[in-house]
Amino acid sequence: MHNFRQITDDLYNVGANDRRIRMFENAHPVPRGMSYNSFLLMDEKTVLLDGVDNAIIEQFWQNLNAVLGERQLDYLVINHIEPDHCHPYADLLRRFPGLTIVGNQKTFTMLKQFYEVELEGRTIEVKEGDTLQTGKHNLTFYLAPMVHWPEVMMTYDSTSKILFCADAFGTFGPIDGKMYADEYKFDEEYLPEVRRYYASIIGKYGRNVNAIFDKIANLDIQMFCTLHGPIWRKDLHLILDKYRQWASYTPEERGVVIAYGTVYGNTALVAEVLAKKLADGGVENVHVYDVTATDPSYVLADCFRFDRLVFASATFNAELFPFMETLLLDLKNHNLTNRTVALIENGSWAASSGRKMREILDQMKGLNILEPTLSFKSSPKDADIEALDQLAKTLLAA
Ligand SMILES: Cc1cc2nc3c(=O)[nH]c(=O)nc-3n(C[C@H](O)[C@H](O)[C@H](O)COP(=O)(O)O)c2cc1C
Ligand SMILES: [Fe+2]
Ligand SMILES: [Fe+2]
């Protein structure tokens, strides 16, 4: 049975949800699943803008067949050649002999790397600002390198005033019936997962995100059609403002993230005591994470959200507690900056976790790392309380 969605009089979403996937890109937990949108424009020419993942390929064919009916597919616009959108492409080429693929130079290089397809005479290679008339609709292509991959582009339909923005404004999680972002409660239902998606998938490339939105700032855009999650048709500034903040690594609000790595629980106790002191001191947002228990993507997202970060780690074979190392490398690899950071180390014979955390954080630009690192041996004593009080004060003032 088909399950497509109509967006405008001639635009359809022929994508679907995959609620079985547990790790998106085999890296990021998606406990509720993932959605893949694919847009079919039924103009004088028919145009598919991006495809879907293999997990939902049968539903895609049902949807595509139902909308296309007896018509042939004339164009496939590939805004992003990552495999989570490309499963049907080889079959589409075989099934529709008149199909022409629209992409940029990098798109075609990677298309041939991933799939054994014969493209001779079947491509239109576009450059920045090139256009394609499909009947009523006029499509313009804007290169958006590194939002999320180097070949990414966005397609602007000046007739419907829609931006097909590839992975941008995507989110983890499925589409629960409601296809538009304005049908979800922004702060509670939408923001946490779109932030975690942004931080995990695009977070490293803030400069590129700003560049593309500067480039298209003057376009009249009424809708953002993203490849993952709800479509934006109202109050587009809500998500655009968030993207601008994240892209410039500006904290969204004041708050402290405390992440600890512990074997026996002593480092955890210190983190809990610090959290209590911060809350007593008036910090509204204090989020504490055990790095073993919580996937780093959730902590990463909170580090994009808040302005102060505390990392507390036991020493482990003269190195960092492994999950803490994973988290810090994740932060470094996402270019996080503009944050105040405090460190707490713990060890029983030669504590080196403070130094090890610094070695990673020192490779990051624009962090204000507070001195001194709070160091204690094995378990915190009453004598350590003073140092914790001092650290809480410094964090409250920061
Ligand atoms: C596998 C392993 C390796 C460790 N390596 C070190 C080490 O190299 N240096 C050190 O001072 N303590 C080391 N420790 C001890 C812990 O860092 C120390 O007991 C710490 O106080 C534990 O804090 P926790 O209660 O938060 O787990 C190691 C512990 C384990 C289990
Ligand atoms: Fe992607
Ligand atoms: Fe994607």
Instruction: Report the number of distinct structural domains present in the chain.
Output: 2
Identify whether residues 40 and 187 lie together within a single domain.
yes
Question: Residue 226 — very low, low, confident or very high, per pLDDT cuts 50/70/90?
Answer: very high
Identify whether residues 389 and 264 lie together within a single domain.
yes
Query: Which of 260, 290, 317, 356 gets mutated to test ligand 1 (max ligand atoms within 8 A of its CB)?
Result: 317
Judged against a pLDDT cut of 90, whether residue 108 lies above it is answered with yes
Q: What is the pLDDT of residue 325?
A: 98
Q: What is the pLDDT of residue 122?
A: 98
Judged against a pLDDT cut of 90, whether residue 333 lies above it is answered with yes
Q: Residue 273's domain spans which residues?
A: 256-397
Q: What is the pLDDT of residue 291?
A: 98
Identify whether residues 383 and 301 lie together within a single domain.
yes
Helical H segments across the chain, by residue range: 57-68, 89-95, 105-114, 191-197, 206-215, 236-247, 266-280, 296-305, 322-333, 353-361, 384-397
Q: What is the pLDDT of residue 353?
A: 98
Q: What is the pLDDT of residue 179?
A: 97
Identify whether residues 31 and 155 lie together within a single domain.
yes
Question: Residue 378 — very low, low, confident or very high, per pLDDT cuts 50/70/90?
Answer: very high
Judged against a pLDDT cut of 90, whether residue 377 lies above it is answered with yes
Ligand minimally distant from the alpha carbon of residue 53: 3
Residue that terminates a domain, selected from 204, 222, 247: 247
Question: Residue 126 — very low, low, confident or very high, per pLDDT cuts 50/70/90?
Answer: very high
The count of other CB atoms within 10 Å of the CB of residue 185 is 8
Identify whether residues 95 and 209 lie together within a single domain.
yes
Task: State mean pLDDT over 193-197.
Answer: 98
> DSSP assignment, residue 180?
B
Judged against a pLDDT cut of 90, whether residue 287 lies above it is answered with yes
CB 275 within 8 A of CB 286: yes
Q: What are 45-76's pLDDT values in tens digits?
A: 999 999 999 999 999 999 999 999 999 999 99
Collapsing DSSP to helix, strand or coil, 115 comes out as: coil
Identify whether residues 118 and 185 lie together within a single domain.
yes
CATH number of residue 73's parent domain: 3.60.15.10
Identify whether residues 305 and 387 lie together within a single domain.
yes
Q: Give φ, ψ of 66 to 5 degrees.
A: -65, -40
Whether 346 lines ligand 1, by a CB cut-off of 6 Å, is yes
Write the burial class of residue 173 (CB in 10 Å: 0-12 exposed, 13-18 middle, 19+ buried).
buried
Ligand 1: residue whose CA is nearest its atom 28: 316
From the CA of 334, how far away is ligand 1's center (Å)?
Answer: 28
Q: What is the pLDDT of residue 295?
A: 98
Task: State mean pLDDT over 259-285.
Answer: 98
Q: What are 129-153's pLDDT values in tens digits?
A: 999 999 999 999 999 999 999 999 9
Q: What is the pLDDT of residue 334?
A: 97
Q: What is the pLDDT of residue 89?
A: 98
As residues whose CB is below 5 A from the ion ligand 2, the structure lists 82, 148, 167
Judged against a pLDDT cut of 90, whether residue 324 lies above it is answered with yes
The gap from C-alpha 10 to its chain's centroid, in whole angstroms, comes to: 29
CATH number of residue 303's parent domain: 3.40.50.360
Q: Which residues contact 166 (CB under 8 A, 6 or more apart)?
A: 50, 79, 80, 144, 147, 148, 152, 153, 154, 226, 227
Given the structure tokens 């507690």, which residue do they identify? Answer: 321
Whether 267 lines ligand 1, by a CB cut-off of 6 Å, is yes
Judged against a pLDDT cut of 90, whether residue 383 lies above it is answered with no
On the question of a cis peptide bond just before residue 372, with omega within 30 degrees of 0, the verdict is yes
Q: What is the pLDDT of residue 120?
A: 96
Query: Which of 258, 274, 292, 316 gets mutated to test ligand 1 (max ligand atoms within 8 A of its CB)?
Result: 316
Identify whether residues 110 and 129 lie together within a single domain.
yes
Task: State mean pLDDT over 104-132.
Answer: 97
Task: State mean pLDDT over 349-357.
Answer: 98
Identify whether residues 121 and 25 lie together within a single domain.
yes
From the CA of 358, how far away is ligand 1's center (Å)?
Answer: 18
Ligand 1: residue whose CA is nearest its atom 16: 347
CA 319 to ligand 1: nearest atom? 8
Identify whether residues 199 and 89 lie together within a single domain.
yes
Residue that terminates a domain, selected from 247, 280, 296: 247
Q: What is the pLDDT of residue 175?
A: 98
Judged against a pLDDT cut of 90, whether residue 207 lies above it is answered with yes
Q: What is the pLDDT of residue 42?
A: 98
Whether 266 lines ligand 1, by a CB cut-off of 6 Å, is yes
Q: What is the pLDDT of residue 58?
A: 98
- Look at strands 11-13 and 16-18 and give their pairing: unpaired
Residue that terminates a domain, selected from 202, 217, 247: 247
Please give the Cα distance from 85 to 57 (Å, whole number): 10
Q: What is the pLDDT of residue 4?
A: 98
Identify whether residues 90 and 228 lie together within a single domain.
yes
Identify whether residues 243 and 262 lie together within a single domain.
no
Judged against a pLDDT cut of 90, whether residue 386 lies above it is answered with yes
Judged against a pLDDT cut of 90, whether residue 90 lies above it is answered with yes
Q: What are 227-265's pLDDT values in tens digits?
A: 999 999 999 999 999 999 999 999 999 999 999 999 999
